[in-house]
Amino acid sequence: MEPLAHPHSAPGPRRRARDLGIVVGHTATGPLDAITDVPGVRVGHTTVRRQPDVHSGVTAVVPDAVGPRAPLPAGVFTGNGYGKLIGTTQLTELGALETPVLLTSTLSAFRVADALVGWMLERPGCEEVQSLNPVVGECNDGFLSDIRARPVHEEHVRAALDAASGGPVAEGCVGAGTGMVALGFKAGIGTASRTPELGGRSFTVGVLVQANFGGTLRVLGRTVTPRSLGLDAGGPEPAAETGSCMIVVATDAPLDARQLTRVARRAVFALARTGAAYSHGSGDYAVAFGTRPGAGAPVADAALGPLFEAVLDGVEEAVLNSLLAATTTTGFGGRTVPALPADRLLAALAAPPLPPVR
């Protein structure tokens, strides 16, 4: 029996960080507080489930008109290289993004890359293309999903790409986030945006995370664990040495590939704010791209500070959104991972901090 595939499917809505009064930083967000606030960026998901063993999928971040004939400036940063980010070497060498950025499960990454190449070769203007660099990131969903089944197929990839749209972005247990676990809680896809002012001009930067990393959650500087919230999954937990995070950053600021690599670094640095452990087995990567190359005078390096801060804040908020949007999931082998309950989180944040241990 084939897994069920659901383009843009997601559980019922849960409140995001800002809905709960959890505000990260002081820079204003875009209207949707999502990566799709950046003009010309669309997102599509296909969720692949077969109860109880398969909880997987694919997420596509699609810049308008991207292709080998019209590459976008891009940078990539590896925080810890225990991962299978396909397309890294050419992206590093040329600083040019030729395809949408796709996210999926570890052992499905290679099928997804092949499907992305096939989809791209059918695009207008690609009739004579003989070289193409697909960019596909992954996280390991093997704790909650039968990863060896490699359930993500070409039709799922094409559905995510074809359904990609602007507007609100589904978060949590959707697409590539369906089987993800982070910081002791069920996690998944999260997104956020900011509108920093650089050199007297206002721009938008948006982030999307596939959160699946280990560590101890920190919210506005307060440590939060399942045990501190009175939660008990009653079973095994993911190994401390496993986990990853893929981050995609998009901006309409006219930056070159070198500057976008600097932006990507800040995106990975931001995971530390949320309590990331950056363990041996964690593949922590960020890909950053610009949507408007040559649109106006380039931003000077000395003016990039507000953009760096915006990325740090945006990634922190996107991780929180990935947790708050997710729902408790029982998956492969009967393992259960609890969702982060908003009411208990707010109560914990409102409680006076414990005195320091002497």
**Catalytic positions:** 244, 282, 284
Cis geometry, peptide bond prior to residue 52 (ω within 30 degrees of 0): yes
Instruction: Give 40's DSSP letter.
Output: T
**C-alpha atoms less than 13 angstroms from C-alpha of 164 in its C-beta half-sphere:** 23
190 touches 326 (CB < 8 A): no
Which amino acid makes up residue 24?
V
Encode 287-338 in three state secondary structure: EEEECCCCCCCCCCHHHCHHHHHHHHHHHHHHHHHHHHHCCCEECHHHCEEC
- The DSSP result for 237-280, as a single string, is ---TTEEEEEEEEEE-S---HHHHHHHHHHHHHGGGGGTB---T
**Distance from C-alpha of 316 to C-alpha of 147, rounded to nearest angstrom:** 28
Other CB atoms within 10 A of residue 95 CB: 20
